């Protein structure tokens, strides 16, 4: 079993950081969620003058055997085709990363394609996709542990190479909303139908089919899952990219990095990571609430407040890239905005608001 030692976010400077926020030239709380974000970032870095250093987004890609059951609007081949699109720089995540000067890594965690000639794709896989969870466990326990380790090792290497202190995690994998819905249901006990959405764009008839397939799949594994620990549940229902994202989140939290959580699948990976240590969530920024049906309920379960609500349902880490400027603004106002004293502006009490 992998051993992660994750410390709670330091509260040593929390009071002084909050005081710094409160004495800026604005009414108390006037910058709303941006103030909470500034406090979180500063506490994670344990400093009153935080900074965002070498931001990096990783897209973990893998295929899913459950896609054979017709649970997606797109064929499995699209996973590999989109990875090649990432490599060529033509996807939404490429455009947004260029816009905000964010480095991007593409990780093959288990795509049903050989990318050997594409050296920019980081190969970390044991198989060309998981098994079909409608008929068998997705992977073995040994595979699951290996993929957790690989996700963790990627973060460790990134920190050594770039000294980055903020990473965003996204994914690509036809069928991964199905695996995520099953994991969400298992760990939250929220009704399975409320965890299942339209994914890449199913119509109502296709959605009903997806619900039936996933209900049968969960019932198949339920005897095992009733007494399973988190690792067995992840191996039974998960996907290779979800497992590696989970390992990456655990290592990032151990390294006390700021973790940008993308949409539904990334939030499910965090849900699993929280089974190992609840402190992981303290390092996470939930970038947006996606249009995927289960995401709102999952965010409520995690008591998470998303930064954006744009009805995104793309994945790829796009929510991370779009939210990143808000983190920059949170840091900039904390570091650069004048206090009442510095500006020579009369302060106000907590009870009186400026007009």
Q: How far apart are CA 211 and CA 197, in angstroms?
A: 9
Angle at 277 between CA 271 and CA 279, to 5 degrees: 90
Cα distances (Å, whole numbers) of residue 39 to 52, 121, 242, 245, 331: 14, 36, 29, 25, 9
Kindly give the residue spans of alpha helices, DSSP state H, lying in the chain: 14-22, 33-45, 77-88, 92-100, 141-162, 176-188, 192-195, 204-225, 230-237, 240-254, 264-276, 293-301, 318-336, 340-343
Q: How far apart are CA 302 and CA 284, in angstroms?
A: 11
Q: How far apart are CA 104 and CA 89, in angstroms?
A: 10
Catalytic residue (one of 35, 69, 171, 316): 316
Q: Which of 252, 251, 322 is nearest to 286 (CA)?
A: 322
Concerning whether 316 is annotated as a catalytic residue, the answer is yes
Give buried/exposed letters for 171-194 (b at 16+ CB in 10 A, else e): bbbbbbbbbbbbbbbbbbebebeb
- 264 contacts 295 by C-beta, under 8 angstroms: yes
Q: Which residues belong to the active site?
A: 316
């Amino acid at each position: 079993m992998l051993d992660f030692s994750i410390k709670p976010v330091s509260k040593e400077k929390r009071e002084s950081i909050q005081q710094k926020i409160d004495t800026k030239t604005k009414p108390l709380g006037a910058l709303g969620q941006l103030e909470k974000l500034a406090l979180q970032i500063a506490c994670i870095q344990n400093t009153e003058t935080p900074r965002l250093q070498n931001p990096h987004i990783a897209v973990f890609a893998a295929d899913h055997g459950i896609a054979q059951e017709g649970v997606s609007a797109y064929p499995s081949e699209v996973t590999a085709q989109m990875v090649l699109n990432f490599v060529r720089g033509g996807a939404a995540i490429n455009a947004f990363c260029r816009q905000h000067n964010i480095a991007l890594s593409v990780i093959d965690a288990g795509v049903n394609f050989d990318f050997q000639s594409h050296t920019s794709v980081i190969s970390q896989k044991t198989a060309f996709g998981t098994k079909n969870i409608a008929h068998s466990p997705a992977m073995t326990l040994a595979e699951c542990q290996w993929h957790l380790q690989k996700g963790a090792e990627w973060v460790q290497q990134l920190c050594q190479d770039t000294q980055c202190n903020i990473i965003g995690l996204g994914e690509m994998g036809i069928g991964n909303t199905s695996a995520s819905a099953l994991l969400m249901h298992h760990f939250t006990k929220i009704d399975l139908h409320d965890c299942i959405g339209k994914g890449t764009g199913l119509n109502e008839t296709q959605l009903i089919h997806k619900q039936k397939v996933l209900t049968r799949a969960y019932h198949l594994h339920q005897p095992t899952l009733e007494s399973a620990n988190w690792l067995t549940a992840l191996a039974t229902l998960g996907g290779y990219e979800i497992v590696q994202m989970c390992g990456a989140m655990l290592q990032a939290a151990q390294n006390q990095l700021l973790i940008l959580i993308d949409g539904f699948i990334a939030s499910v990976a965090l849900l699993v990571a929280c089974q190992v240590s609840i402190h992981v969530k303290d390092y996470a920024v939930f970038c947006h609430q996606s249009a995927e049906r289960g995401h709102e309920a999952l965010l409520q379960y995690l008591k998470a407040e998303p930064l954006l609500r744009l009805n995104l349902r793309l994945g790829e880490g796009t929510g991370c890239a779009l939210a990143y400027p808000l983190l920059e603004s949170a840091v900039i106002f904390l570091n650069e905005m004048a206090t009442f004293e510095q500006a020579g502006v009369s302060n106000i009490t907590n009870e009186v608001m400026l007009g």
